[in-house]
Amino acid sequence: MGDALSIVLLILVAILVIGPKKLPAGLEALWLTWTNFSRSQHGAEALSLDTARRLWTHEKSPLYNGIQLLYAASEHLTELRQRLFFALIGVGVAVLLTFTFSDQIFDLLLAPLSKVQKPTRQTTSELELTQSVAISTTVAPPGSSEAVSVTVTIPAGTRLPVTYVLPAEKIQPIFTKPTEMFVATFKVDVYAGVGLAMPLVIYELFAFLLPGLLPNEKRYAYLLLPAVGFFFVAGVAFAYNLMLPFALQFLFTFGSNIAQPLPSIGDYINFVTSVLFWVGLTFETPLVIFFLAKVGLVKVPQLRSFRRFAIVLAFVIAALVTPTPDPLNQTIVALPIIVLYELGIILARFA
């Protein structure tokens, strides 16, 4: 998954920087250079570009087929490049805007952590009196029912055992590297900027794909695009308000009597953003089911018969998504997934 995403990003960067018209010619030149280098290692003569093209066509080279596809799609890629530029400009402006609100964004991300409190601890120690202390009280002597007043003098230097309870403390993140806080701030600003500019990015992508869609496909696209955003935001809100407080409370209080929890700001930001993203993505389950039903890969009777397996799969996904091993937190995530699966079955009827 990560390798495929890296390849797609590399292609998009190449289209933006090099251009869709120069990109296939540049790839062809690089492939020709590599081919001639390989031939020179075996004592063969170098090939011209025309000869190499005939050779690649005869060998049915997949790379050359991809280059030919880039040549054929250069007009569409030119439009894609323009829309990527607009989207990139929007992301850049959004990142600059979120940079001015970094403190407020950090407050939002740190709010679940601020609610976590370490458990109170009972501590016993000795206090040494620096001066004599006289304590007056009343006691009932043995064999007498009447209380008498007595004064007890404790001399200076006496050590008295004292037991007291330490108040609960809030957990504060730290940073241990010179660049850690800067990198964490940069990540937060970029993530927030991309999220803020996402409507523009989706619009540019949709405007690029719209001419190639059929009328009924356009109608579904107009309905699905807002739904994608709604379900993702709903997942993020669910993780932020319900899942993260339980998870953080469990993780930072478990074993706190053995080790002191001192989370680094970089690790904490990575943890929170990862949980928010994957839970938000999990909430897209109904739309994924609708899409699969629309293309004919699944049917409603199949989805119903798969219900028991879906319940088990929901708990498996919850175990992977949730950062804690406790069953309560996993159940909190699994139950919405089961509800979303049932909603997906309902949507599949209209596919």
Q: Measure the CA–CA gap between 15 and 43, rounded to whole angstroms.
A: 36
CB 333 within 8 A of CB 346: no
Q: Measure the CA–CA gap between 8 and 2, rounded to whole angstroms.
A: 10
pLDDT, residue 1, reads: 41
| Token code pair at residue 194 | 């991309």
Nearest of 78, 59, 65, 60 to residue 28 by alpha carbon = 65
pLDDT, residue 165, reads: 66
If DSSP states are collapsed to H, E and C, what string results for the chain? CHHHHHHHHHHHHHHHHCCCCHHHHHHHHHHHHHHHHHHHHCCCCCCCHHHHHHHHHHHCCHHHHHHHHHHHCHHHHHHHHHHHHHHHHHHHHHHHHHHCCHHHHHHHHHHHHHCCECCCEEEEEEEECCCCEEEEEEECCCCCCCCEEEEEEECCCCEEEEEEEECCCECCCECCCCCHHHHHHHHHHHHHHHHHHHHHHHHHHHHHHHHHCCHHHHHHHHHHHHHHHHHHHHHHHHHHHHHHHHHHHHHHHCCCCCCCCCCEHHHHHHHHHHHHHHHHHHCCHHHHHHHHHHCCCCCHHHHHHCHHHHHHHHHHHHHHHCCCCCHHHHHHHHHHHHHHHHHHHHHHCCC
Burial (CB < 10 A; 0-12, 13-18, 19+), residue 275, is: buried
Q: Please work out, in degrees rounded to the nearest 5, the angle formed at the alpha carbon of residue 29 by the alpha carbons of 26 and 30.
A: 90
The pTM of the full predicted model, rounded to 2 decimals, is 0.69
Q: Measure the CA–CA gap between 75 and 8, rounded to whole angstroms.
A: 19
- pLDDT exceeds 70 at position 99: yes
Span of 125-129, 196-200, 283-287, 304-308 with lowest mean pLDDT? 125-129
pLDDT in tens, 307-326: 888 888 888 888 777 766 66
pLDDT in tens, 34-66: 888 887 888 788 888 888 888 878 778 787 777
Q: Measure the CA–CA gap between 100 and 193, rounded to whole angstroms.
A: 11
Q: Which of 115-129, 159-173, 307-321 has the highest mean pLDDT?
A: 307-321
Q: Measure the CA–CA gap between 61 and 93, rounded to whole angstroms.
A: 42
Kindly state the percentage of the chain with pLDDT values over 70: 91
Mean pLDDT, the chain, integer: 80
CB 280 within 8 A of CB 235: yes
CB 318 within 8 A of CB 337: yes
